[in-house]
Amino acid sequence: MISMKETTKFVYRKQGYYIIGNHSAVKLCHWLRMAMLGKGYCYKQKFYGIKSHRCLQMTPSLPNCTHRCIFCWRAVELTENEPLTDGPQFIVEESIKAQRKLIVGYKGDPRVTEQIFEEAMNPNQVAISLAGEPTMYPKLEEMIKEYHKHGFTTFVVTNGTFPDVIRKIRPTQLYISLIASNKDMYNKVARPIGDTWDRFLESLELFPSVNTRRVIRMTMVKGWNMSNIDEYAKLIRKANPHFVEVKAYMRVGYSRDRLPDSAMPSHDEILTFTKKLGEKIGYQLLDDKKESRVTLLSKEDYKWRSLEKEQPTNYP
C-alpha cells in the first residue's frame, strides 16, 4: 500500500494534524477551540447556522493537490499526488474517532460546559476542506454519503479542476474557489500543476446545474488578485451561485514563507471590494464577520441560508 512519505507525515503532525490511514487527516480549527471556551465562533456559524464546536475539519487527500497556491497554509512543496486508496467508511469512522481524541483534553476544563463538551464529542458537520484537493479522492461521492448516514451536514471546498467529480457529488454545500479573474493571474496565484484553467472554467459552466447549495469562495491577496472586478463578475455570473464569500488571506502556516503581512487585506478593504463586486453581479451584502475579514453576498436574502433552521432530514 502506497502512503504519504514519513517526512510528510512528520511535518503535518508537528502542525497538529491527526493523520488517518494513508492519506487523510483531521485538525481542530481555531474557531472550534474558541467555541469550546465560549470565546467566539466561526463565520460559517454566523452565516449558515452550523455549530463551530460540532464541526469536524478534515481532508481525504492531504498530500494531493493540483494547485500550489501562493497563499496556502499547507506545505505545498510536499505535494505528492500519490494514489488515494483508503475506503470511505474507514475514513469517516476514523475521522470521528480522531476528532474525539483531539477534543477529550477539554473535559474538566472549567471554561467548558458539560453540554458543549458532550455536543463537541458528537460532531454533526464536516468541512471537507482542510488541505489538499478533495475531488482527487476517487471515492469522494461515497464518503459524502457515508457522512450523511452518520447525520452530518457536509461542506466541500474544491478548486474546480475536476469537473467530472463536481457533476456527481451532492454535499449539503459545495464551494468552488475563485482566486483569479483570468488565466495569467490564475497561473501566478494558484501555481497549478499542469494546465488546469480550462477545467476550472468547465466547472464554473456546470455549477448552476449542480442540485445543492452552491458557493463561490474568493480568497483575496493584496497585490496579487484584488483587481479586475469586471472579469471576476463575468465568471461569477457564469457560475450563478447562491452565495459568494469574499475572504481576506490570513498569513498562517507555510504561507508565511511566501507572503508578507502586507498581503493581508483589512476588513474594510474586503468590504469595499465586496460592495463593488456586488454591484457588478446584482448581489447584495447579507453579512460579514470582522474577526475573520469575510463577507457574504447573495442574489436575494435567502430565508433558508441557516442550516440550523433548515436541518434537512434526508440527504442525497
Closest CA to 179 of 230, 213, 219: 219
Query: Which of the two residues, 154 and 13, has the higher pLDDT score?
Result: 154
| Inside any domain, residue 192 | yes
pLDDT, residue 229, reads: 97
Number of structural domains (the chain) is 1
| Interatomic CA distance for residues 134 and 176, integer angstroms | 12
| Inside any domain, residue 228 | yes
Query: Which of the two residues, 111 and 303, has the higher pLDDT score?
Result: 111
| Inside any domain, residue 2 | no
Q: Tens digit of pLDDT for each residue in 280-306?
A: 999 999 999 999 999 999 987 665 677
| Interatomic CA distance for residues 221 and 251, integer angstroms | 10
Q: What is the CATH number of the domain that holds 162?
A: 3.20.20.70
**Within 10 Å of residue 188's Cβ, how many Cβ atoms?**
12
User: 168 phi and psi, to 5 degrees?
Assistant: -100, -35
Which residues is 20 bridged to in the sheet?
Answer: 24
| Inside any domain, residue 3 | no
- Evaluate whether 156 touches 134 at the Cβ level (below 8 Å): yes
pLDDT, residue 198, reads: 97
Closest CA to 127 of 187, 52, 181, 68: 52
| Interatomic CA distance for residues 256 and 150, integer angstroms | 37
| Interatomic CA distance for residues 22 and 169, integer angstroms | 23
For the segment 150-172, the average pLDDT, to the nearest whole number, is 96
Cα-only R_g, the chain: 19
User: 95 phi and psi, to 5 degrees?
Assistant: -70, -40
pTM to 2 decimals?
0.92
Q: Could you tell me the residue range of the domain that residue 240 belongs to?
A: 10-303
User: 276 phi and psi, to 5 degrees?
Assistant: -65, -40
pLDDT, residue 311, reads: 44
pLDDT(314) > 50: no
Residue ranges of E strands in the chain: 18-20, 24-26, 55-59, 125-128, 153-158, 173-177, 213-220, 243-248, 284-289, 294-298
| Inside any domain, residue 312 | no
- Percent of the chain whose pLDDT exceeds 90: 75
| Interatomic CA distance for residues 239 and 241, integer angstroms | 6
| Inside any domain, residue 248 | yes
Q: Give the β-pairing of 24-26 and 284-289.
A: unpaired
User: For the ranges 7-11, 130-134, 191-195, 238-242, which has the lowest average pLDDT?
Assistant: 7-11
Average pLDDT, the chain: 90
In angstroms, how far is the first alpha carbon of the chain from the final one? Answer: 32
